[in-house]
Structure 1
């Protein structure tokens, strides 16, 4: 064990456990009382004592400790609630060697969706049923039983659940025995492999299980509440495919005995990679392919793949401390896209990842961004790590590295890393060193430049004076003003440059470099393939060649061209009228991903436009969208999923942003038909369009649809459409509904977020949230609070900027301080954008 972590002043860090004693095995027995929302338990921990001590220090939170025994002798104990620590004091010094700690305790099944918590559903008879389930990441296993709750303290877990007769229970390992007595059954589960506490899981309740399928010798099944078995086939198909694919990719067998995929009615995160007992939101596991959109199915496939990827990268090999969580999550993000691309190549998953990467670009272009890896001390710091920089930027950096090295060399390095560090804990550099060892490339030098400093570069591309080459220069990209030290930042940037039919790869590791051109007259694409984590600015000549030759660019390259132009407009390098003119050049575009970028830019421009210029702007939108929409025509039985998805996107854009009366009427007709007789993409688009132009009757129909929907996807589709209405009274009704008890706390924050994003009535929703701030914080999972207020950045009027700053000065979000700073900074940038370009765009539209 390494030396005990200390604060800079030399004092022991109160959030870290002292070194010298470590667990090797836990035997945990828990008795949950679902009706009372309580549990009792006992844990016996086998310890390795490396430094003699009279005090054992471990973690416990919200537990009532009744007894502590050390080597069978009763011991005194104290609890520090502020730092979640249990101190067990022995009468005599424990010598080096082994020891045993036994603790008896009770706790509550909380309603905050963390630790050992309470979830509910209504059965077919209308009776509320309770499930006791877990979410331990990052630091909440200590709420289920006392433990050394840090990822470095790996151990074996033997779990026994004593449950009421008639209930079912699952845990990390398969069931290996049961004993019935006095109306309860004690179920014992097989020992786990050596693993971290945050991966422990158990679920108890009235549950059903699908039939198991054998995946290379590992049984897999899907666990769900009664009555939803018909929604399990897709998730099981994805799961079985991905588990086989990962075994082949990693070259290492699945490291546990079985896989349960558990769909839970209440879950604060999307899903959780508990070894062998992966837990999910229902909407991210249960789906009906016949009535769901491509995106809804893709979300399920993504999340199932992401969690299964973790069985190796995260569970088998684990970061030493939470500052390294980015590597777990970034790699699982990378692998989810790779696996989904293998599962459904027709979805073009690496192309659509470009849109997700852009969300990370937006955050990383702020002054209040952070380096991908940074210091993590407290549990609140841990919670703040689960953001787009950890997932999307991290995943994009790994994709960039893979494309530079080549897929085979990257994969060989990853497999080497997993084999060398199996069952152990690692630091970030261990991965780079493993890939460098197998590839021979300067992997650590490249990746250190991206992981340890915030931001990303803008690559400026300029033809040399004689036209024989292109000069590439790098500087940090910012949406606001560049800081004084920005000129000192430098990245080692893998850049793929395509000139005509020739592609050259260079490492830009200085301010500038000149790349010779094989065909000086041909177009030049910087970031060929589109996988680099940087933006590109072309000089006038090079940009002109590209826009005249769009058909020669790949879908992701065209997407990036539009996305870079939109970012440059927000930053002030391109005017809003010039951007609109540029977008009008994409009327012949027929790829969904490119249209996504176009529509994002159009929505952004739409927020600049006042009432006087809006009809002219709506006309521009209709003129841009209608040719592609007309060409797509009616849905066809043999159409691709992406073609159907594009039709839905264009229909939504024409109806909502273009105010197309014909489309609005068509959408009303579509919603009047039985849902199983209409293409799901059209149903989803029509739901949004009708809401955007609807009244009280439409609101009530959607609200009732949410309450009676037969699938999680239909339910959320109708719930979130309640925020689309162009009526302040209805928006406030949506807000009240979010807090009225009929919307689960896992979903309510996101309805409020969408209401605050409403173009005209967002300010009223923001006022509502302020007035109900205490209630929201008391009822919602802590990790959803900052996500709830994310859309404040869209409220760009000067008085709203000042109001938000004043409110959060008095109402901080301690578990997401950095993320809140980012939201407020982006709000200021949007306000500056509105002030700079709003009038200019309006004049250009009406002149």
Structure 2
């Protein structure tokens, strides 16, 4: 085969030849974990050429022709490219490339891969399924595997007649194969897709079942699942139908395909994937029993289903040109999932609870190693690194801030305009800002460019000067100093200021501005409504006005922000941990779950600052705060809101574990015992809390019970509860046993990295779990999906002993994670920040106790 020089850019294909249509025929052999395939690609040639380059990897090419004439070919594994060289130049105009190939159904949960489950008879069954994002369609068939190269896909699958098969389009033809090596199989052809990118192609084959379709204004919606789980599909169908209708109304654009299948897969590296019409999910984020699931577990299912359906328009119909734009795809879908779920279940107060998710982005964005929301992406590894809290949570929060500033209807009109003018095309980020700006009288592009092209976020300080409110901005950062060259200029900050009962928008576009107040003596709220992506530092005078009765009159998210900002001030060295503890003790009358979530985050972080000798006294202080609240909440009653139940469960677990309360531990154990005999007869929030308490306070017998609960749970959520609880035991041997379990094959590779992360987060035995991961680093990298490796070690940031910090930092100096390099930098910096925090605060906090 001929050798072809590698182009200057090893990751971007030439545009002289572009695809217009793929006709793909695949024959998977589930038992042998292989597949054979054929693809006919209709291309447009701009200028005559004898060389055509496309993407392929892990495929054995059997033959290749252009226009029916055989060509030479070579496969470069390093650049994942297939080069075809014709004997004569291919003329400008249309051409057809035919390629026959063989491949493997891999176990890395990428491309065309194997997923397995054990059926009701105890036999292992195999599913062949796909995950193409970001650059893994090339593992299933040769293609132009970049988002800009949109084309039509015609998929045909040749499968055993007893297997279920599904793809992006609806099935349009089925015929028996009469002769040849595939005799006895069935050939299933699916309808052509719309013009779309390769990363959205999907096909799934296996012993699966589908629910009866739900008609959503002419669009059939089904849930596909393994046998025996049909009873867990109702909630997913409900939110799926609601969201599909709601998005069509919101966007003002019809659903761009013919059907929607939601597929629950036993093995899936991500949460879910927005393949057009064939959306794939982890089982735990689609299949759920509302009678036994917690509020958070149901909310997760609703969020993820809505998120993926939002992508059918924003991402599938209109697609980013290159992977640097993936942040906008995911940020917008995050924004839309919250909006849809807020409409689906208004009582969940979803925009309020999004505050906690936004705080995760604040945590990362407070580091010097943070990144701009959008940045240059060159390689597939760079693209993998985009899937983080800055893309999802910060991006979604910035869109919410923009929507609040412009007004919901103006924002919506801009989005609808964007979708209409760019349907079936590819865009850059600025195209969205221009579309929204065209529907408003605000400087949308200038405003948003100030947020997405520079790292970090501002701290807005507020003080009075006579009758004026003076607002100033500076970049907020945790302990490590900022290099002057990296300090951002000013942001254009839309600040909502409320004075008494009136509010006004101020665009803070300089380092400082003055705001004239109608009533400067009234309580003043900066970031009124709570949706701005910035923290607020009030002067002592202004903060004092928000105490007492004024505090109770704040919106929930505003109170949440006060607590969240206070804890971040502790981490940044602006507030003493002892002062934070006294501050949150002033929230004894608080009864909102979101505010208590912020309080508990801070209390857990404060507890991490203490050694074992002082931790007992800290537990007594925490118990004194929580005990009256738990008593006031009492037992569950019919008709109470989901959020009250969520609060009760959170505080019972915290009082037992963080507060060490013996009576609550005993209560939790009794609840867990009752749940094992009558799962539906016990409040799910209390069962979830009790599972953690049993682990945190338990021994070997409890470990065996929870291990059995993991293996034999009735729902995916209950199985995961038990699995993750195995990391919470206060016994080094049991924690290490959980680590061994993760490497044994008994825990699916999609879950094992996250269990190990919980083990490393164990308060007393996390260092032992880290040493285990360190010793098994090669095995973990070989076994687990690439995108989970950096997530597995995320909790090393909680390990703050000097020797452990040194060990972690030196290990990763020699063991980089290329597909998560920026995220790893952030984890290691946060570990250093946490270590400095503990060194700075532990003695003073111990003295306070």
- TM-score under structure 2 normalisation? 0.98
Distance of 1:689 and 1:488 partners within structure 2: 45
Distance of 2:112 and 2:745 partners within structure 1: 22
Partner of 1:110: helix, strand, or coil? coil
- Please, which of 805, 810, 818 is the counterpart of residue 806 of structure 1? 810
Name 2:830's counterpart in structure 1.
Answer: 826
Name 2:755's counterpart in structure 1.
Answer: 751
Cα deviation 1:323-355 (Å, max 9, x = unaligned): 000000000000000000000000000000000
Name 2:180's counterpart in structure 1.
Answer: none
1:479 matched to 2:475? The reply is no
Contact 2:469 2:515 in 1 (8 A): yes
Partner of 2:728: helix, strand, or coil? coil
Contact 1:475 1:486 in 2 (8 A): no
Q: Equivalences for 1:356-505 in 2 at 5 Å?
A: 356-464=357-465, 466=466, 468-480=467-479, 481-485=481-485, 489-505=489-505
Partner of 1:645: helix, strand, or coil? helix
Name 2:154's counterpart in structure 1.
Answer: 158
Alignment gaps of 5+ in structure 1: 1-9
Cα deviation 1:356-407 (Å, max 9, x = unaligned): 0000000011111000000111111111110000000000000000000000
What is the CA-CA distance between 1:413 and the residue it aligns to?
0.1
- Please, which of 27, 32, 39 is the counterpart of residue 35 of structure 2? 39
1:790 matched to 2:794? The reply is yes
Alignment gaps of 5+ in structure 2: 1-5, 178-182
Distance of 1:34 and 1:686 partners within structure 2: 41
Partner of 1:752: helix, strand, or coil? helix
Partner of 2:546: helix, strand, or coil? helix
Partner of 2:693: helix, strand, or coil? helix
What is the CA-CA distance between 1:11 and the residue it aligns to?
6.4
1:541 matched to 2:545? The reply is no
Distance of 1:470 and 1:698 partners within structure 2: 58
Partner of 2:165: helix, strand, or coil? strand
- TM-score under structure 1 normalisation? 0.98
Name 2:88's counterpart in structure 1.
Answer: 92
What is the CA-CA distance between 1:266 and the residue it aligns to?
0.1
Distance of 1:406 and 1:12 partners within structure 2: 46
Distance of 2:242 and 2:689 partners within structure 1: 30
Partner of 2:647: helix, strand, or coil? helix
Change (3 A) 1:11 1:145: closer
Contact 1:475 1:487 in 2 (8 A): no
Name 1:530's counterpart in structure 2.
Answer: 530
Partner of 2:27: helix, strand, or coil? strand
How many residue pairs match? The answer is 834
Q: Equivalences for 1:109-124 in 2 at 5 Å?
A: 109-124=105-120
1:108 matched to 2:100? The reply is no
Partner of 1:697: helix, strand, or coil? helix
Distance of 1:354 and 1:95 partners within structure 2: 57
Change (3 A) 1:535 1:486: farther
What is the CA-CA distance between 1:488 and the residue it aligns to?
5.1
Name 2:742's counterpart in structure 1.
Answer: 738
Cα deviation 1:794-824 (Å, max 9, x = unaligned): 0011111110111111111011100000000
- Please, which of 142, 146, 157 is the counterpart of residue 146 of structure 1? 142
Contact 1:476 1:486 in 2 (8 A): no
Contact 2:285 2:300 in 1 (8 A): yes
- Please, which of 658, 670, 680 is the counterpart of residue 684 of structure 2? 680
Cα deviation 1:169-213 (Å, max 9, x = unaligned): 000000000111222001000000000000000000000000001
Partner of 1:186: helix, strand, or coil? strand
Contact 1:738 1:751 in 2 (8 A): yes
Contact 1:692 1:724 in 2 (8 A): yes
Name 1:519's counterpart in structure 2.
Answer: 519
Distance of 1:377 and 1:412 partners within structure 2: 33
Name 2:186's counterpart in structure 1.
Answer: 185
Contact 1:492 1:509 in 2 (8 A): yes
Distance of 2:128 and 2:624 partners within structure 1: 54
Distance of 2:686 and 2:218 partners within structure 1: 41
Distance of 2:623 and 2:794 partners within structure 1: 30
Name 1:7's counterpart in structure 2.
Answer: none
Contact 1:796 1:830 in 2 (8 A): yes
Change (3 A) 1:487 1:469: farther
What is the CA-CA distance between 1:677 and the residue it aligns to?
1.1
Name 2:51's counterpart in structure 1.
Answer: 55
Cα deviation 1:814-835 (Å, max 9, x = unaligned): 1110000000000000000000
Name 1:332's counterpart in structure 2.
Answer: 333
1:815 matched to 2:819? The reply is yes
Contact 2:475 2:488 in 1 (8 A): no
Distance of 1:485 and 1:398 partners within structure 2: 28
Change (3 A) 1:395 1:129: same
Contact 2:455 2:488 in 1 (8 A): no
Distance of 1:787 and 1:248 partners within structure 2: 37
Distance of 1:588 and 1:705 partners within structure 2: 37
